[in-house]
Chain A
Amino acid sequence: MSLHPVPSDFEARCNATFDAVMWALARPGVMRDLPQAGLAQVVDALIDRECAVHCPDEALAMLARRTGAELVGPEAADHVFAETVTPEMPDRLACGSDLHPEDGATLVAGAVFGTGQRLRLTGPGVDVEVIVTIGGLPGDFWQRRAGAMRYPMGFEMLLVDGARLIGVPRSTVVEVL
């Protein structure tokens, strides 16, 4: 018998997922490895009955519902899970308020790394600048994101390509090259 609790597989996976998520947001633009592919693991690590989730994907919505989370529209959601980002999404997400910036949403979305738009990221967590290439998002997404947010209001983005993750918090300035 071990003298201390051993994490279950679920617990160990959630811990590893959050470790990747935390470092992805602490170092925007630096790619992190997730323990497995897909968005479902982020639901496991973050979502429970205290959350309001928007999720167009049926299977993922069921998973979120099973955790006890409320399923709501994108405006009311504190977490949005979307395999594909729609063009109007940046304008519809909750950005919190100056009094409560924590009310801004977290957008977990599918993307394609290595193709698409070349982006220059600057801001906290970025050592001078980092250049990434991210595709799979609507063409004017980054302009609309910049237009929708006024720091410290805004939303966080966790972009997932398979088992790889790039984080773009609201503090990051994104420049399309």
Chain B
Amino acid sequence: MTLQTLTKPWEPMSYGFLDGSAKREIRRKMIKAIAVPGCQMPYASREVPMARGWGTGGLQVSLTLVNPAMRVKVIDQGADDSVNAASIRRFIARVAGTPTTMDTLEADLIQSRHRIPEEVLREDQVLVLQVPNPEPLRPVQPNMSIARQMHADADYGRMWLQLYEQIVRSGRVMQGASYPSLVHGRHVMTPSPIPRWDVPKLHMAKHLTILSAGREKRIFAVPPYTRVEPLVFSDVPYKVEDHADLTCHRSGTRGFFMNEIPQDDGTLVFEVSDSAWGVKAIRRRDGEEVALGETWYKNGKMPS
């Protein structure tokens, strides 16, 4: 062994910003996360040039996976063009030289904050979800050591109690986003703050989902063809948001998750939340040849 063999040629910066040891650590933890679906794996969560809580967890996973042939799409609450999404997309493209896209069908890697695209993801696509709070038990058990023990024991009684109390108090489950879901019949996870509308898309999906919380330093995953069942009582069925009959005022598309836009006169109009889907619908309406993918929801209903 010589000094020469222990060194590497000089590089101005690491490809994909993260250094080798950071990538290897995330790789090792992703292996374990995929092997135990829904179980939170601790990881180091290195510094990236972005504040914690703005998608650093998702960004680290994306930077580990990217290569120059991988087409990247980044969305923030469904929109490709919001500040957070645009900044992350530009950063990945700058440090990894990846091509970018806004079209779900063209993307190999989709990093998302709080939405799953409306078009069905394929077997070769990876969805990376940014997670602010990875611990579904936090509202019922603030001590994370005890929460870990509860996960180990599959002790989810308090989760059920919380849902029961909501139904007793309010007549329905009040949990809007990050609906607690049982993965592979063993671990309860938070699916990141995606709306209830999106949770059924994870159940037996074809794509790989990786959820990463940079601030909380936890990574977990939902492999393809894995059961993801929202916690519900057998006599109180799971309900998605009542958006099936809403029409987007810009694209005219109907039966998808909508953003509510208050108007000056006190009324509301709706706009489809998945901006790339809306743009494609408008372009098709205007007579362009646009490929629209199959959607999870058909006529506002998720086929069971």
Contacts and interface: CB of A to CB of B under 8 A. Distances in A.
Interface string B145-166: 0001100110000000000000
A7 B15 contact: yes
A106 B66 CA distance: 23
B35 A170 contact: yes
A138 B27 CA distance: 29
Contacts, number: 137
A97 B151 CA distance: 12
Nearest to A12: B67
Interface residues of A, number: 49
Contacts of A154: 35
Contacts of B94: 3-4
Interface string B69-110: 000000000000000000000000111110000000000000
B226 interface: yes
B31 A5 contact: no
Contacts of A151: 36, 186
Given A25-B31, A48-B24, A124-B226, A101 B6 contact: no
B95 A125 contact: no
Contacts of A3: 94
Contacts of B11: 5, 8
What bracket does the count of chain B residues touching chain A fall in? 35 or more
A123 B223 CA distance: 10
Interface in A153-176: 154, 156, 169-171
Interface of A: 2-8, 10-12, 14-16, 18-19, 21-23, 25-27, 45-51, 66, 78, 97-99, 101-102, 104, 106, 123-127, 151-152, 154, 156, 169-171
22 contacts: A4-B97, A5-B95, A8-B15, A11-B15, A11-B20, A12-B67, A19-B65, A21-B27, A25-B34, A26-B221, A27-B123, A27-B223, A46-B28, A47-B24, A48-B20, A48-B24, A101-B39, A102-B39, A124-B37, A124-B225, A169-B36, A171-B37
Given A48-B20, A102-B41, 11 more contacts: A4-B93, A4-B96, A5-B11, A5-B16, A21-B27, A22-B208, A25-B35, A101-B41, A104-B35, A124-B223, A127-B225
